[in-house]
Structures are given as structure tokens and as C-alpha cells.
Structure 1
Amino acid sequence: MHWSIGILMFLGTILAMELVAYAAHRWVMHGPGWFLHASHHRPRTGNWELNDLYAVIFAIPSIVLLFGGAQLGWWPGCIWIGAGIAAYGAIYFGFHDVIVHRRIATRYLPRSAYMKRIVQAHRLHHVTETRAGAVSFGFLWAPRPEALKAELRRRSHAGVRSARGTAA
């Protein structure tokens, strides 16, 4: 396979993973997988949360494709796709865990309109503490914060957590 085709497959996989992540977040994590994801909508008490198991689960296809393509003689495109999945995971980790949730100390402050929008959309996603009522399930693309706030109002703030220091 020519390397230029591989690069296109790699980049296409990164873009496709945003759709996969959206679907998994909306219909799995906020559905039957809530028993793991609920920990991510509560204040963390320590370095790890049950939701972190999703990183392991989502790494498996990447590992299998990379191993199969590199060691088992599978179609060479498997390597590029597996690398694209891994790259999306790394990008997601940087955005989500480092920039938004500050799980690793950093002095980075979002300055661009894009980064501010992504951070604000994810924070609006986290105003809910239940699996229902959440908005903005993607991560590299997010609706305008004004649209998300309007949607929360339209839903009568269903599932929105109480302000600190007030009774629920």
C-alpha cells in the first residue's frame, strides 16, 4: 500500500472516531454503560475513576489492528486504521483529561475560539449528574454553548446538579 493512501486512512480514521466516540458516549456510556460512566459525572476522589476502564476498552481495537497488521500479516491498512484509533485516543486524552479535567497539572489556558467552545461544551455536558438530560456528546466538535444552554433550559434543567452548598 502506498504511504499516501495510508496517511489518508489514518486521518480518515481520526475523523471517523469522533462519530464513534459520539455514538458510544451518547448511547452506551449514557445508556447501559452508565454503571461505569457515572463516576465521571461525580467529583473524583483520587486519581482514577471507573470511567477510566473505557480507555482500556477503546484501546483494544487499536491494539488488535496494529498487532494484526504488523505481526500477523493482515491487510496493511489495519496498521493505519489502528494508528488512527490510537491517535484519536491520544488527542482525546490531551483535550479531555489534561485540558478540560486537569488530571495532569498544566498552565494551558484556552485562548482560541475553538478551544474555548470545546471546553465550555464539555463543562455544560457535566452540569448533569444523571444519565438523562446531558447535552454535547462529541469531543472534537461541539455545538455552540448558547445552543447547549437553550437545550438545557428546554429540558427544564432535567438532571442538572444542585449548586454547591444547597440541598438537592
Structure 2
Amino acid sequence: MGLYILVFILTFFIMEFMAWFTHKYVMHGFLWHLHADHHKKDHDSWFERNDTFFVFYAVISIIFFLLWRYEILEIGLAIGLGIFAYGLTYFLVHDIFIHQRFKLFRNANHKYARALRRAHKMHHKHLGKDKGECFGMLLFPFKHYKNA
């Protein structure tokens, strides 16, 4: 049981690195055409082309559930749940708390919350794919925490 909990926690934290890497080198790289509408609203839809990345990681999570279900990978459930937990956290923090896609958590005034919003605001000050900063979600440069 302890191994599964450890794998779940490690997967969750590895996903922060994966989110940073994917955001910096894929979303702001060769798949910018899917991410651009997140930086510059060029549509009237609630959905963004950028939401495709959420679907991608959901599919990866489901694959690990299936690998576990069909007894191909015993720790597949822990990995799938770790990816799912990060995706849920991403949705709650990024889409709801930061971008207010649903009007919740508007009055959060904790120092970490302010720093998180500030770091993300610094990322969005660049409308193009170049010269970006703060590509992670939960971890960001300490200077934003100090200034919050």
C-alpha cells in the first residue's frame, strides 16, 4: 500500500514538471496554434483550442487505468490517479481560481494565492509564443512569493 501512495505522490509532482515542460516547449513551441487562444482571446466560445491539452492528459490517465485494470501494470492505478489528481488540481487552480472560468474563489487572499496569480499574470503579459516566463502551475520563481 505504501508503494502505491508513494507512486501516486511522485506522479503528481512529476506532472508539475511535465506541465512546465509541455507548456514551455510544446504549447509555446510547435503546438502554439492550439495554445494561442489562451493568451489572446480570438473567439467567443467558452471552450478554447488550448483545452485539447487537458484531453491529452486525460487520455494518458485513462491508459494507465486500463493498464492496471487488465493487469498489465500493477502500479497503473496509482499513476493514473496521480495524473488525474494533477489534472483536477490544474482545473481548479488554473481554470477556476486564476482565469475565473467559473466565478469561484474570487476572494482568496492568501500570500501563496496572490503569488500564484502574480506569476501567472507575468506569463500572460506576453501575447506571443516567445519571451514567456513562469511556465509551471504550482511552482514559480520565489520573487513572486516575496512580492505578494
Q: What's the TM-score once normalised by structure 2's chain length?
A: 0.92
CA offset digits 1:47-70 (Å, max 9, x no partner): 111101111111111000011202
Instruction: Give 2:14's aligned residue.
Output: 16
User: Alignment partner for residue 90 of structure 1, among 88, 91, 98?
Assistant: 88
Instruction: Give 1:124's aligned residue.
Output: 122
Shift in Å, 1:46 = 2.4
Distance 1:61 1:54 in 2: 11
Shift in Å, 1:32 = 0.1
Instruction: Give 1:36's aligned residue.
Output: 34
Instruction: Give 2:104's aligned residue.
Output: 106
> What amino acid is aligned across from residue 66 of structure 2 in structure 1?
F
Whether the 8 Å contact between 2:64 and 2:77 is mirrored in structure 1 is yes
Instruction: Give 2:66's aligned residue.
Output: 67
Distance 2:134 2:36 in 1: 16
Shift in Å, 1:146 = 8.4
Shift in Å, 1:107 = 4.4
Q: 1:134 aligned to 2:132?
A: yes
Whether the 8 Å contact between 2:28 and 2:129 is mirrored in structure 1 is yes
User: Alignment partner for residue 6 of structure 1, among 4, 7, 13?
Assistant: 4
Distance 2:110 2:103 in 1: 20
Distance 2:105 2:33 in 1: 33
SS of residue matched to 1:31: helix
Q: Which one has a larger percent helix, Structure 1 or Structure 2? A: 2
Name the % identity: 33
Shift in Å, 1:109 = 2.2
> What amino acid is aligned across from residue 93 of structure 2 in structure 1?
F
Q: 1:49 aligned to 2:48?
A: yes
CA 142–36 in structure 1, closer or farther in 2 if over 3 Å, else same: same
Distance 2:68 2:15 in 1: 19
CA RMSD of aligned residues (A): 1.5
Shift in Å, 1:45 = 2.3
CA 146–117 in structure 1, closer or farther in 2 if over 3 Å, else same: closer
- Structure 1 runs of 4+ aligned residues shifted over 2 Å read 43-46, 107-110, 144-147
> What amino acid is aligned across from residue 14 of structure 2 in structure 1?
A
> What amino acid is aligned across from residue 100 of structure 1 in structure 2?
I
> What amino acid is aligned across from residue 68 of structure 2 in structure 1?
G
Distance 1:56 1:32 in 2: 18
Shift in Å, 1:76 = 1.5
